[in-house]
């Protein structure tokens, strides 16, 4: 078949975009379609029967109190971790702006926990929080009765959040440092000439001009908090005590690989995806402001 | 041009969607269980055959099993046993993802509480009659092995048999002026109060009786209900009856009050009750014989004793003395059952594993009771100063039927945490736990 030049060009065009299209289809779209397909089956690897059950997995999930506990725990975890890590990272980045000697060394040092495996970090903190660990000893000396942070339903989730905050300060501080370095010095010079105080400079120049970085970092921090699995799994095992550390990713894992209920786990995965999408959308709406230099 | 774009796009999309759906349309679990129709093994075979054997690397298991495998291979030179260690956490996941696709082990070591699920899922096959007849197994094995029978056929044989007994620290008993070893739960409570040690600031140093639901007490509390005269399940195992009698409420409340009222135990004092005992953090624990092996290797100088499990207040003698047997097991997979040679070799391996020779090899290494009645009178158990306490309990022992071992275990942990850590009303927690257990039973028995 003889093709016209425009048709040949079109085919070449398709050939070039085929690679990224196939990549995205297989890496993103296919698993999603497959997850949706599994979510409407009673697909359990321990069962010999698999058949279509419609939205029954979604219905049973929404009726399950533990599922709502997991949603609430994920939110609590993100609400503590994301603002915590943003605030401390921003302060760290601002402090770095004023350091001249040993800056590179300190930045490397603060990045070390981020480069450490989450599982290794979790096990070290399991020891630190344990009955014979230094934190328990310190709290005990301060008069706290039986201060076992990881075994109390009231404190376990926050104790885990504290570990992940500590572990990711370096990464977020680095992002803030890049953002701060991108702000032109002219604005600071002009403000100083006009007699602005350090607080006024921070409030009226640094924060507004850093907004694109804040938006980016907060979306990354919230999403990472909601998705955190390795540290939670290593420190909370099965989400105990009494489901107080059962986050949604952990619940999905337990449903899929402990109860072998792939259908219900797939339904949870899709709901989790929507959950993150909605939160990210709300975040974008709330904190996006246009900035012009 | 535009039309070509639309057509090509449509074809690409359609092919992708079809590709997405294709593998999902036949997930592995939809395959019919091979166990349903196992191949009949040939009468005998001298052809070389290799069987894959999966086991969990618990303390000293590798030493014990390697010795047994070496002996078995020497007696059966045509059979090679290829042993692989699979972690406890991943065991069922790996079995579920390999066996239905014709891969994975031929022989494995599931916990007896998993057998019902494995049998229902078609992961394991019945033990072939011509190598190990059901009548012979019924006659030889202890009664706790009855839960391994489905449709009149054994699907596994016991390994690492254990029941429960009291472990007590003789030095702490002497220090507290306790001269007689408790024989009832109430005597244990008194002894635990005397044995508990605190420092000058009131901090727990030695738990009188260490209670840990994530370990032995998730089973002990169920035994306690029986020892108080309360029913656990209906005869057909379809109804949870924990809260259907006053005795059930009394037993559960009394047990949790050891921590909440008597304060003889501090929650989460140690992740392991066994370690708490052999490191001197607990005066008493109830545990299985495996702790003897651990003490031997971890704290050989510990001055301790074992005594039969303490009695409950039930008027019926068998109920008051009731004990729970639990064990791991050896089972043949449905994958092996598809290959006559492997099926026969696997059955021979199982036959050897419950033989007196094999039991005598592994028992001293891992600290286990015999799976067969004939071995129960063997001097190696009856004259052992620590093991004989466990033998006393074996005639009263029954294995629990588990429909979801991990789920039921987690339920007991949550029940314990609710009362011991959250301070919730034990009666309300027992009601909640019974409802949760019923949900697990309903799920298992659902058609």
How far is residue B238's CA from residue B440's CA, in Å, rounded to a whole number?
10
The answer to whether the beta carbons of residues B270 and B276 sit under 8 Å apart is yes
pLDDT digit string, tens, across residues B288-304? 998 998 898 889 999 99
Average pLDDT score, chain B? 88
pLDDT confidence of residue B367: 79
Could you check whether B35-161+326-399 and B165-324+402-445 share the same CATH topology? yes
Determine whether the interchain pair A10/B30 forms a contact, defined as Cβ–Cβ distance below 8 Å: no
Work out the average pLDDT over B75-100. Answer: 92
Assess contact for B49 and B341: CB atoms under 8 A.
yes
A288 pLDDT band (50/70/90 cuts)?
Answer: low
Q: Is B333:B237 a contact under the CB 8 Å cutoff?
A: no
Handedness of CA B285, B286, B287, B289 (dihedral sign): positive
| Residue B34: pLDDT over 50 | no
B413 interfacial to chain A (CB closer than 8 Å): yes
Backbone region of residue B104 per phi and psi (left: phi > 0; alpha: psi in -120 to 50; beta: other values): left
Q: What tokens does B245 get?
A: 């009698």
Which tokens go with B161?
């048999």
- Evaluate if residue B19 carries a pLDDT over 50: no
CA dihedral (A210, A215, A220, A221) positive or negative: positive
Confidence band of B41 (pLDDT split at 50, 70, 90): very low
- Alpha-carbon distance of B74 to B70, in angstroms, equals 6
What does the pLDDT read at residue B33?
34
Question: By the 8 A CB rule, do B396 and B323 touch?
Answer: yes
In angstroms, the separation between the Cα of residue A77 and the nearest Cα of chain B is 20
Q: Which residues pair with B398 in a beta bridge?
A: B324
Neighboring chain A residues of B407 at a CB cutoff of 8 Å: 259
What is the CATH number that goes with domain B35-161+326-399? Answer: 3.40.190.10
CA angle B382, B149, B411 (to 5 degrees): 85
B404: its two tokens: 């979801």
Q: What is the pLDDT of residue B43?
A: 41
Q: Does ipTM exceed 0.90?
A: no
- The tens digit of pLDDT for each residue in A84-129 reads 999 999 999 999 988 888 888 888 898 999 999 999 999 999 999 9
Contact B407, B443 (CB under 8 A): no
Beta strand ranges found along B309-365 (DSSP E): 323-333
- Domain chopping of chain B, boundaries: 35-161+326-399, 165-324+402-445
Are the Cβ atoms of B121 and A262 closer than 8 angstroms? no
Shortest Cα–Cα distance, B21 to chain A (Å)? 6
Does the structure show a pLDDT above 50 at B266?
Answer: yes
pLDDT of residue A44: 84
Architecture of domain B165-324+402-445: 3-Layer(aba) Sandwich (3.40)
Query: Which residues, in sequence order, are CB contacts of B433 under 8 Å at separation 6+?
Result: B242, B243, B411, B412, B414, B415
Q: Measure CB to CB from residue B421 to each of A6, A41, A241 and give the nearest one.
A: A241
Closest Cα in chain B, distance from residue A168 (Å): 29
Residue % of chain B over a pLDDT of 70: 90
Strands B323-333 and B124-125: antiparallel
Give tens-digit pLDDT for A137-192.
Answer: 888 888 787 778 888 888 999 999 999 999 999 999 999 999 999 999 999 999 99
A to B CB pairs, distance under 8 Å: 102
Q: Would you say residue B404 has pLDDT above 90?
A: no
Structural Rg of chain B based on CA atoms: 25
Whether B4 and A7 lie within 8 Å, measured CB to CB: yes
Q: What is the pLDDT of residues B373-398, one digit of tens each?
A: 888 889 988 899 999 899 888 888 88
Contact at CB, B269 and A131, closer than 8 angstroms: yes
The structure tokens 């779209």 sit at A29
Most confident residue range from A179-183, A185-189, B94-98, B172-176: B172-176
H-helix segments, B76-206: 91-98, 115-121, 134-140, 170-176, 185-195
For the domain covering A30-287, report its CATH number: 1.10.3720.10
Which of these, A76, A79, A37, lies nearest to A266 by C-alpha position? Answer: A37
What does the pLDDT look like over B305-359, one tens digit per residue? Answer: 999 999 999 999 999 999 999 899 999 999 999 999 999 999 999 999 999 999 9
pLDDT bin (cut points 50, 70, 90) of residue B27 is very low
Residue B346's closest CA among B81, B138, B74?
B81
């Amino acid at each position: 078949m003889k093709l016209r030049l425009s048709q040949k060009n079109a085919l070449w065009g398709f050939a070039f975009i085929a690679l990224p299209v196939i990549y995205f289809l297989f890496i993103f779209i296919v698993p999603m379609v497959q997850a949706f397909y599994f979510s409407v089956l009673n697909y359990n690897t321990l069962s010999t029967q698999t058949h279509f059950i419609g939205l029954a997995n979604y219905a049973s999930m929404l009726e399950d109190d533990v599922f709502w506990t997991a949603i609430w725990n994920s939110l609590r975890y993100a609400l503590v971790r994301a603002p915590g890590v943003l605030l401390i990272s921003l302060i760290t980045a601002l402090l770095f702006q004023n350091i001249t000697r040993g800056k590179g060394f300190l930045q490397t040092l603060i990045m070390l926990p981020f480069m450490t495996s989450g599982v290794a970090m979790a096990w070290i903190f399991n020891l630190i929080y344990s009955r014979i660990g230094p934190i328990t000893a310190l709290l005990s000396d301060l008069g706290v009765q039986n201060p076992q942070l990881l075994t109390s339903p009231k404190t376990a989730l926050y104790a885990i959040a504290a570990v992940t905050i500590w572990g990711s300060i370096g990464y977020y501080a680095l992002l803030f440092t890049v953002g701060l370095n991108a702000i032109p010095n002219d604005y600071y010079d002009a403000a100083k000439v006009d007699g602005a105080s350090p607080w006024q400079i921070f409030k009226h120049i640094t924060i507004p001009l850093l907004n694109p970085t804040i938006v980016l970092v907060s979306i990354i921090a919230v999403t990472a908090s909601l998705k955190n699995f390795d540290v939670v799994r290593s420190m909370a095992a099965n989400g105990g005590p009494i489901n107080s550390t059962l986050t949604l990713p952990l619940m999905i894992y337990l449903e899929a690989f402990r109860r072998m209920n792939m259908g219900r786990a797939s339904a949870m995965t899709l709901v989790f995806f929507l959950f993150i999408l909605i939160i990210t959308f709300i975040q974008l709406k709330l904190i996006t402001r246009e900035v012009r230099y | 041009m535009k039309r070509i774009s639309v057509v090509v796009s449509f074809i690409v999309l359609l092919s992708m969607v079809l590709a997405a759906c294709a593998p999902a349309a036949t997930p592995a679990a939809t395959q019919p269980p091979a166990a349903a129709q196992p191949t009949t093994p040939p009468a005998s075979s001298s052809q070389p055959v290799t069987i894959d054997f999966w086991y969990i690397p618990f303390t000293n298991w590798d030493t014990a099993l390697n010795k047994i495998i070496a002996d078995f291979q020497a007696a059966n030179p045509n059979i090679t046993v290829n042993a692989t260690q699979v972690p406890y956490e991943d065991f069922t996941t790996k079995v579920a993802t390999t066996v239905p696709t014709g891969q994975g082990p031929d022989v494995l070591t599931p916990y007896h509480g998993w057998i019902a699920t494995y049998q229902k899922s078609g992961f394991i096959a019945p033990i072939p009659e011509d190598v190990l007849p059901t009548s012979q197994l019924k006659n030889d094995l202890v009664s706790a092995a009855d839960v391994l029978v489905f449709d009149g056929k054994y699907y596994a044989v016991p390994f690492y048999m254990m029941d429960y007994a009291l472990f007590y620290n003789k030095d702490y008993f002497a220090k507290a002026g306790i001269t007689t070893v408790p024989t009832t739960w109430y005597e244990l409570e008194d002894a635990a109060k005397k044995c508990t040690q605190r420092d000058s600031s009131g901090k727990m140093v030695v738990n009188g009786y260490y209670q840990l639901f994530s370990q032995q007490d998730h089973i002990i509390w169920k035994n306690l209900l029986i020892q108080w005269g309360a029913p656990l399940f209906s005869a057909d195992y379809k109804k949870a009856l924990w809260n259907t009698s006053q005795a059930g409420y009394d037993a559960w409340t009394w047990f949790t009050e050891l921590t909440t009222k008597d304060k003889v135990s501090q929650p989460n004092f140690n992740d392991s009750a066994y370690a708490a005992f052999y490191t001197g953090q607990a005066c008493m624990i109830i545990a299985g014989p495996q702790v003897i092996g651990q003490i031997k290797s971890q704290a050989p100088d510990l001055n301790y004793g074992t005594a039969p499990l303490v009695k409950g207040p039930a008027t019926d003698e068998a109920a008051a003395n009731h004990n729970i047997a639990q064990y791991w097991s050896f089972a043949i997979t449905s994958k092996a059952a598809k290959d006559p040679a492997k099926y026969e070799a696997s059955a021979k391996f199982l036959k050897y594993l419950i033989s007196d020779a094999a039991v005598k090899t592994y028992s001293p290494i891992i600290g286990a009771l015999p799976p067969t009645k004939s071995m129960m009178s063997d001097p190696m158990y009856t004259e052992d100063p620590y093991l004989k306490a466990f033998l006393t309990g074996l005639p009263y022992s029954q294995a629990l039927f588990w429909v979801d071992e991990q789920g039921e275990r987690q339920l007991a942990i949550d029940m314990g945490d609710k009362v011991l850590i959250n301070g919730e009303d034990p009666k309300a927690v027992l009601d909640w736990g019974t409802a949760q257990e019923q949900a697990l039973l309903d799920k298992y028995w659902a058609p």
